[in-house]
Amino acid sequence: MSRRCQVTDKIPLKGRTYVTRGIAKKKKGIGLNITGKSKRRFLPNLFKKRFWFAEENRFITLRLTPAAMKTIDKLGLAKVIKNMKKQGKKI
């Protein structure tokens, strides 16, 4: 299963971590130097959440981010599911 939010389509992003050495000029130092860079991934904050879908009389399990949960609270589950089906997503 991919690490993707089913509602907002948030996916992992690429990035780097930097290791610094030295004292900042603001703190009367000579400056910070980057001594190492390594690749990393920023993963979305996913949760597996079960919702009761009253229109179909069944439970629906979705992998969501907190932003998607707020969207469901705001718009309602039926409207979100309708938009997902319109986009051709399998539920």
Task: Give domain limits for the chain.
Answer: 13-42
Structure token pair of residue 36? 């190492």
Kindly give the confidence (pLDDT) of every residue in the chain, 91 residues in length, as a single tens digit, with 9 standing for 90 and above: 789 999 999 999 999 999 999 999 999 999 999 999 999 999 999 999 999 999 999 999 999 999 999 999 999 999 999 999 999 998 8
- Nearest residue to 14 (alpha-carbon basis) of 53, 47, 41, 36: 41
Greatest alpha-carbon pair distance for the chain in Å reads 67
**pTM value?**
0.79
In angstroms, the CA 61 to CA 91 distance is 8
**Phi/psi of residue 55, nearest 5 degrees:** -60, -35
